[in-house]
Chain A
């Protein structure tokens, strides 16, 4: 049962390895998780997911995979102690509502009906007016409107919550706090420099050592100073043509000014969206095309990939094969984008368009989804965050 789950996770883009999977099995064997589904969810998440950015993918894959195994949870649900339900109800229901329950035959009746329904019901249920589930008007379930409803699966239920924990998808917006702020290019440059200076290896400060040894009456006194080395490699993908040209120039200037701080800095151009080829010289873009695959092979995973573009276009240019406005593309831009972000896990998209407008452009939304929200405004605050996201 777990091996397909493993592959489902990998398919969903959660980078799980065999080591981690074996750890999970080991933990299960050691009895870390009791028999509850929620325990299993928490345990498998702690074992298999190592980055909160992937929590949402994990939740979705988990939900998709264990949908078929709902009976398992159902058995758990059936074992909710009766007193608990009663206590719960007394706390959440008003006097008036309690009176209505009496009208339905009182608590005992309600519980009895609940048990009967549990037996009848197979699988998870949402909406509707009879079955136990969420969002409906049945007396049983969560988020419903029925006045005498028993809240199963809301805050207090230890067992039932399991189904919901991953359905809730709380980690969707985990890295969605984006700030705006504008000042001049110099500060931006300083930020880029800070980004470029990495590492803190110590090296001998020869002058300092001689000086302080002399002061020490000839007894050796070593002095060290932090070493600076530029280890950052950057790939810059710039959108050219049309409205973007001004912004692209600013960006190019910015990065070339900081060029000496990077170990490597490579430019490539694209138009509107990335497809199977890029080019290095914009004047000869139709002659000297470089296959994207070649770029992917040439530059290692440790490169940081920075897109600059407004991501504003027809959504077809992203999702449809042949959607490009310049040529016939065999594969959709989204497929290429997915390949790119997998090749270079450190990636951001800088968008010169004001952030308020992003929400109104479907293609920006699409791009953001493809990049897992690593899109930042081309402003000081945005740069700051982009740099943070790149680390």
Chain B
């Protein structure tokens, strides 16, 4: 297991992130990733899979997801229905066992990457129900009386948006990384990775404007990396010159296409008010 993660062509990983990933890969423990929305938590798993050339299994968690669904489900209803119709396959219970994501990952021929996305969306007991499975990487299928064991311990990446606190027993088994909001230098690298041909001035102006908007007090949802990337994409598509972003020109103080940055009408309103005030002071 000498494979090491160093970030990829399309993903800029900070040193502490690389350390956390490599520790999790080496020891075969799950990696819990938290951070502001839009800082690339989900993407991390895809990039690890890509960089280490491992298959990726995605398990997206919803508020109704149960831990059991990740292992397997016994479709009793369709078996009952089949029995009403007199189908042959009704005699073998194995026909009605539906494999979950975890099972699929356990069966993989090479060490897979398993993404458990937004674990905090699920019920509060959800992580506790997976303790043994993540620890031992095995589980028991009651209906068919068989043990399912992982051939290779999957690299498990778990993301959380902090909507619920996770139980201690669960946390103890994970490595933890908090994706901090990138500073200007990292942000430049990130933008560079996504838009390598971006003009220097446009990038500089866009970043200045972006961080200014982020620092504005009272915003309900601060724009994040993914919003910045979207915005730059729009700026490029509209072919907006860098001068248009410079905010010292009072007439154009509102950056163009700011709808990509602010996603909340109260924020937009607040933003316009502040800009308006600035303009009056400028006179």
Residues of A within 8 A of B (CB): 15, 17, 19-20, 23, 26-27, 30-33, 38-39, 42-43, 45-47, 49-52, 55, 155, 158, 170-171, 179-180, 198-202, 218-222, 226, 231, 346, 388, 391
Contact = CB atoms under 8 A, between A and B. Distances in A.
A158 B23 CA distance: 19
B16 A42 contact: yes
B99 to A, nearest CB: 20
A42 B20 contact: yes
B2 to A, nearest CB: 10
Contacts of B168: 15, 17, 50
Interface in B31-82: 32, 34, 63-64, 77, 80-81
B16 A46 contact: yes
Contacts of A26: 27
26 contacts: A20-B172, A23-B175, A30-B27, A33-B23, A39-B15, A42-B16, A42-B19, A42-B20, A43-B19, A43-B20, A43-B23, A46-B19, A46-B24, A46-B177, A47-B175, A50-B32, A50-B171, A50-B174, A52-B34, A180-B218, A199-B123, A219-B84, A220-B77, A220-B81, A221-B77, A226-B64
Contact of A39 (B19, B80, B163, B165): B19
A220 B84 contact: yes
Contacts of B178: 52, 55, 171
B274 interface: no
Given A55-B178, A201-B123, A17 B164 contact: no
Interface size class of B (residues with CB under 8 A): 35 or more
Contacts of A219: 81, 84-85
Nearest to B170: A50
A202 B81 contact: no
B25 to A, nearest CB: 9
A236 to B, nearest CB: 20
A42 B164 CA distance: 25
Contacts of A51: 171, 176
Interface string B184-206: 01000000000000000000000
A220 B80 contact: yes
Contacts of B132: none
Nearest to B22: A32
Contact of B26 (A30, A200, A346): A30
Given A220-B80, A226-B64, A199 B29 contact: no
Given A32-B27, A226-B64, A170 B163 contact: no
A219 B80 CA distance: 9
B94 interface: no
Contacts of B165: 346, 391
B220 interface: yes
A32 B175 CA distance: 13
A26 B173 CA distance: 13
Contacts of A388: 163
A275 to B, nearest CB: 29
Contact of B19 (A32, A52, A220): A32
| Dominant SS among interface residues on chain A | loop
A200 B177 contact: no
A222 B64 contact: no
A328 B181 CA distance: 47
A198 B26 CA distance: 37
Given A50-B171, A155-B185, A38 B26 contact: no
Given A50-B172, A50-B174, A27 B180 contact: no
A336 B136 CA distance: 41
B124 interface: yes
A200 B80 contact: no
Contacts of A42: 15-16, 19-20
Contacts of A202: 64
Contacts of A158: 15
Contacts of B84: 218-220
Contacts of B29: 23
A46 B20 contact: yes
B175 to A, nearest CB: 5
Nearest to A27: B23
Residue among B19, B80, B164, B220 with the most chain A CB within 10 A?
A: B19
Closest A-B pairs by Cβ, 8 of them: A42-B19, A50-B171, A46-B20, A52-B178, A42-B16, A50-B176, A32-B23, A46-B175
A254 to B, nearest CB: 23
A39 B15 CA distance: 8
Given A52-B178, A200-B63, A222-B77, 7 more contacts: A20-B172, A23-B29, A50-B168, A50-B171, A170-B180, A218-B84, A220-B81
Nearest to B65: A200
A68 to B, nearest CB: 24
B123 A200 contact: yes
B269 to A, nearest CB: 13
Contacts of B23: 27, 32-33, 43, 46-47
A346 B165 CA distance: 9
A17 B167 CA distance: 14
A137 B268 CA distance: 45
Given A27-B27, A42-B16, A46-B20, A198 B124 contact: yes
A30 B32 CA distance: 20
B77 A38 contact: no
Contacts of A55: 178
Contact of A38 (B15, B171, B174, B175): B15
A264 B257 CA distance: 49
Nearest to B35: A52
Nearest to A202: B64
Contacts of A221: 77
